[in-house]
Structure 1
Amino acid sequence: MGLRLYIPQRDGQGNKIDQIISNMGVSRKVILFLSDKYVEDDYCEFEASLAYNKYINERRDLMIVVVLRELGAMNVTQTIHKILSVDNYIKWGWDEESMELFWLKITTAINNMDDLIPQRNCPCEKVISKC
């Protein structure tokens, strides 16, 4: 589909906060894979907060949220709570139905032509970010 995928662990170099801000700024979609480990990482919490703010400010469906495992109550931060309460999220599972739902939602979100229209003065391609 001619899309680029930014994965910090693979593509990251330099200041991590600058990378998150820069890549999130040019992203059409953000996939958040939530788990207890994700929430415990301050950079991931920052990324989730930035994605949520972009979602609210742009008033469009840009977040794809996947809950890998049920989050422990102590790990549901204010930002994560907001994300889970406003977005339809997918609970990951290894059963066939869960995997089909995961791929259906991602494919549907990526194929949403309204989100693929470039923003004014934005020469970027679509980027999907994952922490």
Structure 2
Amino acid sequence: MKLLLNTAVLVCLLSNGSMAEVFSPVEQLKLDICPKQKDPEASARCFKRSVFDFIALSVIVEKSAKDDEAKAYANTKIGLIYEVDVGDKATALTYYKKACSLGGQKGCLLAKALEAQ
């Protein structure tokens, strides 16, 4: 529920052109959605589902953003989630390059770093 509220705030801010840092850090997201459980496998499954839900919601945000800066920002964040939490570097690189093409400097730097690995 908290994720949906955060995403609603994000959609509102991006659609109004504000670039406030409203994405929750992934670790906080993990704790918000998947409270510590005794079974580590259950926690991992919950977090994996929540990461993909967050990616899906971020894609919706990116599609609804009105300016290139907001779209670049969303693509960079989606790329970071794919690279760091999902471990899918090829998909992350696609999002970084898209952010770079929209003028996102972080996206360009992350794409170059990932390609150099």
**Greater share of residues in helix:** 2
More strand by share: 1
Q: Same fold judged by TM-score > 0.5? A: no
Specify which structure has the bigger relative contact order, considering alpha-carbon pairs within 8 angstroms and separated by 6 or more residues: 1
TM-score of the pair, normalised by structure 1? 0.34
